[in-house]
Amino acid sequence: MTSQTTPPEPTPKGVQPEPAFGWTPYAELINGRFAMIGFVALLILEFFTHQDFFTWLGLR
């Protein structure tokens, strides 16, 4: 019995999406998360220093 093996067909690579730039839903999601982290950090700073943000910056 002679069997011939054929090499496997190369699988075509899918189209790689280009990185999105600008106002994408993912960018907005990340931006919102960082804004929430910054806001909570500001609240913690004001709580522990008993000064508001502008006083802490020296603007008041």
Within 10 angstroms of residue 43's Cβ, the number of other Cβ atoms is: 11
Residue 17 lies in a domain: no
Residue 16 lies in a domain: no
User: What mean pLDDT comes out for the span 49-54?
Assistant: 90
Are the beta carbons of 50 and 56 closer than 8 angstroms?
Answer: no
- What pLDDT shows up at residue 38? 97
- 5-47 pLDDT, tens digit per residue, is 887 777 667 766 666 677 889 999 999 999 999 999 999 999 9
Residue 29 lies in a domain: yes
Residue type, 39: F
Are the beta carbons of 55 and 42 closer than 8 angstroms?
Answer: no
Give the chain's domain count. Answer: 1
Q: Does 58 or 18 have the greater pLDDT score? A: 58
The parent domain of residue 32 ranges over 25-57
pTM of structure: 0.58
Residue 1 lies in a domain: no
Residue 32 lies in a domain: yes
Residue 2 lies in a domain: no
DSSP track, the chain? ----PPPPPPPPPPPPPPPP-SS-HHHHHHHHHHHHHHHHHHHHHHHHH---HHHHHT--
- What pLDDT shows up at residue 50? 92
